[in-house]
DNA sequence: CGATGAGTGGTGCCT
DNA sequence: AGGCACCGCTCATCG
């Protein structure tokens, strides 16, 4: 990784276009070709690009211009004045142990899959990431009387969660009757997807979401905070 | 800005929880108290925190531990071995000219507001960010026969755009009749919001979006690429 | 390669 | 401060 402190300016052209006027900033160039330009506040770089090919040219003022080209975008950085530079070898990508996160939505989803009773008496889990014509729904479960419920899982549920849930329900209701094994007894059963219900399960259900869910006939479940302590990593 | 190359490990607790095992990485500490931990790939830091208060302690192994505390979260970084360190004064926040972006959605929205004819013959702009009970809609326009159209503007329109558009239309249709000035003649007119139509206007309308828009009775408009060349910054 | 959705998303605007 | 939507979002995953 190289860190270069320099008076620089930059022009980006790609998904949008940006211009960064001249000032003293830090350029970070990583071994995979990523480049980012930082000033002295916040974590987000002003400009950046990932895995680009760098080329150096000299402009009319005799200044170095580094052009980073990627598929559909490019970033040109002009170095007006260079202050200092340092380079260090960091952990290789292969040896990077990586960040281990807990309390993610994926884990919450798995916990609900393993503890479907929190969604209601006698509810049975069928499948995670169940495909619908409108994208995969987090959880498909069945009530005791074999009514399908499409469950959208969120840590924090805002309006978008109600949009997603409805989108999945709409698609599933078009499916009609499906023959599948009973999730517990494995007997052959017929599930009528035209009766699919939508449900939002979250640790934090925001007020506006509760209001819109009510309006749309979507159920909600507040997941108890203790889920983390009873979370079991096994598949 | 300080850059420290060190063998380090980190524990974050806050919105989620993460553990970062020991390896050689770069710590970036900015003058506003932001900290980020980078390895040698991609632009995003492994761990980070903004505007925190740092405290140094020594652990049982005699290693330095830097704890960054913010409102509802904290990051503890253990420095197992320090390789090198550099510090440079960068442009001050006051002098940072900042990134100037063009081609943003906000500009596209304004352009359509000023050129409503691309939405159809005789269409008249009423208001940007028009409030609905389900969040503000990008554009409200009227047809010649005073039918309201709620327009969702996007650079790239995917499924979520159809969700938003429908959400706004639903809310507006509940409003019923409203007396307002005619957008051109300023005569007093009565607009019947129960007839509100939804429309998605975008530079790039994805195939799945077109399909779902059709199903939901939402109109779509492909904004011509030349909009940028005819874009006028004036309000 | 595009499509989809999560994220300690970040960031700005408005209530 | 919380709610809401945009972002050159970035990133992983899956087809």
* pLDDT tens-digit series, residues A8-18: 999 999 888 99
DSSP B118: G
Per-residue pLDDT at A44 exceeds 60: yes
Residues 6+ apart with CB under 8 A from A118: A112, A201, A221, A223, A224
pLDDT value for A71: 80
How far apart are the C-alpha atoms of A162 and A60, rounded to whole Å? 56
Q: What is the mean pLDDT of residues A218-227?
A: 93
Mean pLDDT of B203-207: 89
- What is the per-residue pLDDT for B235? 47
CB contact under 8 A, A28 and B47: no
CB of B208 lies under 7 Å from some atom of strand C: yes
Chain A, 166-225: which have a CB under 8 Å from a chain B CB? 166-167, 212
Residue B178 (CA) to nucleotide D7 (C1'), in angstroms, measures 35
Instruction: Please give the pLDDT value at position B53.
Output: 87
In this prediction, residue B71 carries a pLDDT of 78
Secondary-structure percent of chain A, ordered helix, strand, coil, rounded to 5? 20, 45, 35
Where are the strands (E) in B132-231, listed by range? 137-142, 148-157, 177-181, 188-192, 197-205, 219-222
Average pLDDT over residues A162-171: 93
Name the percent of chain B in helix, strand, coil, to the closest 5: 20, 45, 35
Give the pLDDT of residue A127.
Answer: 95
Percent of chain B with pLDDT over 70: 98
Between chains, do A41 and B34 touch, taking CB under 8 Å as contact? Answer: yes
What mean pLDDT comes out for the span A148-159? 94
- Interface membership of B2 toward A (CB under 8 Å): no
| Overall average pLDDT of the A161-180 stretch | 93
pLDDT > 90 fraction of chain A, expressed in percent and rounded = 80
Q: What is the mean pLDDT of residues B109-118?
A: 93
**Cα–Cα distance, B132 to A212 (Å, whole number):** 13
- Report how far residue B40's alpha carbon sits from residue A171's, in angstroms, rounded to the nearest whole number: 43
CA distance B196 to B97: 43
Residue A233 pLDDT: 66
What mean pLDDT, rounded, does chain B reach? Answer: 92
Closest nt by CA–C1' to B35: C8
Please list every residue in chain B whose beta carbon sits closer than 8 Å to the beta carbon of residue A42: 30, 32, 34, 50
Question: Within 7 A of a protein CB, which nucleotides of strand C?
Answer: 1, 3-11, 14
Mean pLDDT on B185-189: 95
Q: Which residues contact A9 (CB under 8 A, 6 or more apart)?
A: A19, A20, A21, A22, A23, A77, A78, A80
Q: How far is CA A216 from CA A192, B75, B132, B161, in A?
A: 20, 41, 17, 18
Q: Comparing C-alpha atoms, which of B201, B207, B208, B206 is closest to residue B222?
A: B201
Which pLDDT score, from 0 to 100, does residue B233 have? 63
The residues pairing with A76 across neighbouring beta strands, listed in sequence order, are: A11, A67
pLDDT of residue A70: 86
pLDDT at B213: 92
Confidence of residue B229 (pLDDT cuts 50, 70, 90): confident
pLDDT of B94 higher than 90:
no
Asked if residue A235 has pLDDT above 70, the reply is no
Nearest to B183 by CA among B117, B118, B124: B124
Average pLDDT over residues A12-37: 94
> Mean pLDDT over residues A137-148, rounded?
96
Check if residue B156 sits with its Cβ under 7 angstroms from strand C: no
């Amino acid at each position: 990784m190289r860190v270069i402190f320099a008076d620089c300016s930059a022009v980006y052209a790609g998904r949008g276009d940006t211009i960064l006027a001249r000032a003293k900033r830090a350029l970070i160039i990583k071994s995979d070709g990523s480049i980012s330009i930082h000033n002295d506040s916040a974590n987000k770089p002003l400009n950046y690009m990932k895995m680009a090919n760098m080329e150096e040219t000299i402009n009319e003022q005799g200044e170095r211009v580094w052009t980073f080209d990627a598929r559909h975008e490019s970033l040109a950085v002009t170095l007006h004045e260079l202050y200092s530079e340092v380079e260090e070898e960091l952990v290789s990508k292969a040896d990077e142990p990586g960040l281990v996160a807990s309390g993610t939505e994926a884990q919450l989803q798995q916990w609900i899959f393993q503890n479907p009773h929190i969604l209601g008496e006698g509810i049975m889990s069928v499948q995670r990431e169940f495909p619908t014509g409108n994208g995969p729904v987090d959880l498909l479960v069945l009530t005791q009387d074999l009514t399908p419920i499409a469950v959208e899982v969120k840590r924090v549920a805002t309006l978008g969660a109600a949009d997603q849930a409805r989108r999945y329900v709409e698609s599933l209701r078009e499916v009609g009757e499906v023959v599948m094994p009973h999730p517990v007894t494995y007997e052959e059963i017929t599930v009528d997807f035209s009766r699919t219900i939508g449900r939002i399960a979250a640790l934090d259900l925001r007020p506006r979401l509760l209001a819109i869910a009510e309006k749309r006939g979507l159920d909600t479940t507040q997941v108890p905070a203790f889920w983390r302590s009873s979370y079991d990593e096994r598949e």
